[in-house]
Amino acid sequence: MFPDANALKRKLPQIGIAVAFLILVVIFSMLSPAFFTYSNFANIANQTAIISVLAFGMTLVMLAGGIDLSVGSIVSLSAVVCALLLGADVPTPIAMGLSILTGVAFGATSGFIAVRWGVQTFLVTLGALSVARGLSLVLSEGRTIYIESDLFLALTAQGFIGPVPVLFAWTLIFFVLSWVILNLTTFGRKVRAVGGNIVAARHAGLRTNWIVIRVFMLSGGLAAFGGLMMAGRLSSGLPTVGIGMELDAIAAAVLGGTGFKGEGGSLVGTFFGALVMGTVINGLTILGINPYVQEITKGVIIVFAVVIISMRRN
């Protein structure tokens, strides 16, 4: 019946998570008149925007067979660096560029250490998580650095493009960029090859080390941009933001069907994965559900989704 049954099977997790998202929207809309409103969708868009950007990078890293635990700390480091530069009257585009470079440099270093000495990416980035967090505390001296540049705030988070909040517009831009990189470039195919079987990829003549390093540079750069979005959203650089965000980013990728051994994986799925998590918390808050119960619900949903995905895979 289907010309390519395998292709359809590969797409099942992302279709599943999209359907789950729609069901959630229908249920919450029925339960609360405040849910299905423009301003609430703008809220959900804003509240999932940063996690989504981190999750796109995480998806690429996971497809290459790695994991990047440092992204939450890089969010904070980049936010602090940018807030400090803006405070020192550095022009906005240069401040933003240097902050992104900080993230890229972190990713490059993690990737390099992982391939040069054959260390698991889990361990390297666990160290990077600590280093980046410590750096952002040292640079900020633990303080909240207030951002007064209206240009920066409008560019990153607090403006609108038509009806679309700027924060979410960035998410859409990075979604398209990551999708193009993964699906339309040879680099994207090489990433999947490395994640599928790094030894085979190496025998096929791919420069696997360089591919891994570049994937981590992308992830670091995306996380750093997430940091700029965070700084814009909070009008400040805080050394404490982003704690635990790496886990939400991983959860979003996994909900979208990405596995830990480079299998599955699509950016559409990841996008919906982030939306599902954001929508659940938003909807439960609107319904006035006890916040302790919200945590339980979020955890149960993640486990439930992962079980379904692995059942289908087997």
> Which residues form the interface with another protein (CB under 8 A)?
26-27, 30-34, 37, 39-40, 43, 46-47, 50, 137, 140-144, 146, 158, 230, 233-236, 238-241, 243-244, 281-282, 285-286, 288, 290-292
Least Å distance between CB 272 and another protein? 19
Q: By C-beta, is 78 or 110 nearer to another protein?
A: 78
Least Å distance between CB 56 and another protein? 19
Q: Fill in the DSSP letter of residue 157.
A: I
Q: By C-beta, is 46 or 270 nearer to another protein?
A: 46
Q: By C-beta, is 31 or 204 nearer to another protein?
A: 31
Reference 228, options 125, 92, 127; nearest CA is: 92
Q: Fill in the DSSP letter of residue 37.
A: S
Least Å distance between CB 47 and another protein? 5
Least Å distance between CB 252 and another protein? 16
Q: By C-beta, is 80 or 211 nearer to another protein?
A: 80
Reference 215, options 78, 97, 76, 56; nearest CA is: 56
Reference 48, options 259, 272, 228; nearest CA is: 272
Least Å distance between CB 84 and another protein? 14
Between the alpha carbon of residue 278 and those of residues 56, 125, 197, 297, 298, the distances in Å are 15, 25, 33, 12, 10
Q: By C-beta, is 43 or 197 nearer to another protein?
A: 43
Beta-sheet pairing, 164-165 with 236-237:
unpaired
Give the contacts of 229 (CB within 8 A, at least 6 positions apart): 49, 50, 53, 156, 157, 167, 170
Least Å distance between CB 158 and another protein? 7
Contact present, 166 and 159 (Cβ < 8 Å): yes
Indicate the angle between helix axes 166-184 and 38-63, nearest 10 degrees.
Answer: 30
Contact present, 62 and 266 (Cβ < 8 Å): no
**Residue type for 93, please?**
P
Q: Would you call 165 helix, strand, or coil by DSSP? A: strand
Q: By C-beta, is 133 or 214 nearer to another protein?
A: 133
Least Å distance between CB 31 and another protein? 4
Reference 246, options 87, 57, 93; nearest CA is: 57
Q: Would you call 264 helix, strand, or coil by DSSP? A: strand
Distance CA 210, CA 101 (A): 18
Least Å distance between CB 172 and another protein? 20
Q: By C-beta, is 40 or 110 nearer to another protein?
A: 40
Q: Would you call 259 helix, strand, or coil by DSSP? A: coil
Q: By C-beta, is 63 or 281 nearer to another protein?
A: 281
